[in-house]
Chain A
């Protein structure tokens, strides 16, 4: 599948944005600037970006506790996200959600999610809406190798087949469900076969390689969009950081992290592809790097200066505020 130059530029920019966003968030957490529990996506950038390259704004995604990358790839406002992580009332979720609950419904982002496998059933609902409306939209759920062992994940996969809805299950195997390795936590030795046994095709890709994930996700999403029911994408790629920021990572083998950063870096792999194909020049990529670094720096400056929430905001947005005449607000389509 040939990829337009515009898509290549946009995709590299997205991957670089995720990388710099996450590394900066890590630094700010270590400085004590960002509260709460934070899970970083560094190293897995190609998955989110290559999947979202096939989506438009009205397709939906639902994410996980490791959600920053998915949200950025789907077009969430980076400055709004940074403000959210800092707990500002100007944040994307007004400081109510934080890292684990970044969402932007208008961009088709149904939220990061603090509950492992909380997302897949909700994504089936979005897919069901697309089927009923016959609008050609797809609903993508991102899950990890941990979430595929939850009953909710099994139920969502089976129901998506039963209902023949355009749900795409993207399973990102980063090898560890928190501190436990997939070789222990998944009982069968062929997760692809186990997933396909639900009754839909699963396309496998090297999660360090944007182009491989792009091809696999393209097949899965085309399958679902064409009305053939759900499909799956499997991408293997380790995360560079711990389960959460502060995790001592006692589960890592000797040299494992060095190997990941050295030999399985989606940004390096992308640049290697470009050096071979000549589709984008080094100067074009370097220019993107510089722009992204400036954007992330500005987002942190803005987040630190952003408005802080006030106590009366605690009880705002628990329910919809109806107008004085009792008229409902308009529902976003």
Chain B
């Protein structure tokens, strides 16, 4: 099977969805690029190159916009409400701060507020997360915040294979889907089939299987957790590593069944701790698998702080394999 980067896998999914369904279109800042200039229109494909080549094949369905995040999300929501399947790109997840109303008060709630009589099959893609020394306004995960809003589906792929399958599911889904692409993973490769395939929402992936500890990790934390777990095998410690892949809907049963088997839980996410996914999963286990637990639940996450700029500070800020290893061992102590 061919190896592809996460960037190329997402790009391929977009091309295939555009080919298959004329109601799919791409919209966002520089998704084509260079419009209005004397240069090479269509040569940018988004600031991370994820929409490369789409304008060249479907110029009418690759829509560059001004820098206007509220209008981009609103336009996607409106087009979806009348039957299109837009895939909007918001360059950085942090810019949710600019377009929060259109996401949270508008598209998320249409169907419920309208008595189930509407559909809003829009996908909003974001680059997300830390690791680039991009500081406080270009490094946030944000998916943990958006997971709290009913009406939105929230996807966080951790590898190229999942990214393609999950995006194709997202585009076919009739509810609004927020799709968070950990930007440090764009260049990471995995085996990705050329053909179209989908991965159902709410179905976790068991990245590793083991007996001693359940580890749940999200996005860019999944490969870090896998590295920690693989190193612990030499010490005779084996872990389940669960990648939920979608935070809403969440595969609660996969997590609970694993915790019931291992009796120990470590939850890993790159976002700060308050009202986040690690607390959410810990709460789930405490509520529904308490009698199975043989050790306190451990949460590995960033501290309650904005993302710092300096590389040393960001390295200390983000969870890494060492911190995950320490947490796993703490549950076994």
Contact = CB atoms under 8 A, between A and B. Distances in A.
A36 B97 CA distance: 21
B306 interface: yes
A205 B133 CA distance: 36
A165 B95 CA distance: 28
Interface stretch (A182-190, A281-289, A293-301): A182-190
B238 to A, nearest CB: 30
A185 B67 contact: yes
A328 B24 CA distance: 55
Contacts, number: 164
B66 interface: yes
Contacts of A249: 39
B33 A311 contact: no
Contacts of A201: none
A88 interface: yes
A114 to B, nearest CB: 3
Contacts of B65: 185
A318 B302 CA distance: 13
Nearest to B39: A251
Q: What interface size band does chain B fall in?
A: 35 or more
Interface residues of A, number: 52
Contacts of B312: 87, 95, 308-311
A152 B175 CA distance: 28
Interface in A127-148: 146-147
A314 B70 CA distance: 32
Contact of A253 (B33, B37, B67, B97): B37
A99 to B, nearest CB: 8
Interface stretch (A40-48, A172-180, A220-228): A172-180
A263 interface: no
Nearest to A151: B70
A150 interface: yes
Nearest to A89: B310
Interface string B86-122: 0000000011011000000000000000000000000
B313 A180 contact: no
B305 A251 contact: no
Interface string B61-74: 00011111111000
A75 interface: no
A87 B133 contact: yes
A97 B37 contact: no
B136 interface: yes
Contacts of B34: 179-181, 250-251
Nearest to A149: B66
Interface string A167-210: 00000000011111111111000000000000000000000000
A327 interface: no
Given A180-B64, A252-B37, 17 more contacts: A36-B132, A36-B133, A87-B311, A95-B309, A100-B135, A101-B135, A101-B309, A115-B97, A146-B67, A149-B67, A179-B30, A184-B64, A185-B66, A309-B312, A314-B308, A314-B313, A318-B306
Interface of B: 29-30, 33-40, 43-44, 47, 64-71, 94-95, 97-98, 132-138, 303-306, 308-313, 316-317
